[in-house]
Amino acid sequence: MPLQEAFLDDRNHLDDVNVVFLQRNDEVKRTMLPSEIRTMRQVQAAFCRAFNLSMAYLQQAYVRIYIQEPRGQLFYELDDPM
């Protein structure tokens, strides 16, 4: 496959994902999420993969996931609407 075609295939694949930065305490990991996130479990699964955590840990009542405003000033708790 010519290089230009490979680049276009990669770019089309990247249209289907979002690069996000996940933070746990002082550790930050870059990962990719599907462009359409529909459940909190999908977000939790990303944390499990990035930080080698168990789903059971993330589902404990005291564990919270926050989303940061693009300007980085405010954080909001992420709730599962379902």
Strand intervals (E) in the chain: 17-24, 27-34, 66-68, 75-77
Residue 12 has a pLDDT of 52
Confidence of residue 82 (pLDDT cuts 50, 70, 90): low
Beta-bridge partner residues of 77: 66
> What's the pLDDT at 32?
87
Q: Which pTM does this prediction carry?
A: 0.72
Relative to beta strand 66-68, strand 75-77 is antiparallel
Is the pLDDT assigned to residue 8 strictly greater than 50? Answer: no
Tokens of 60: 């404990």
Band (6; pLDDT cuts 50, 70, 90): very low
Is the pLDDT score of 4 beyond 50?
A: no
User: Taking a C-beta distance cutoff of 8 angstroms, is the pair 29, 50 a contact?
Assistant: yes
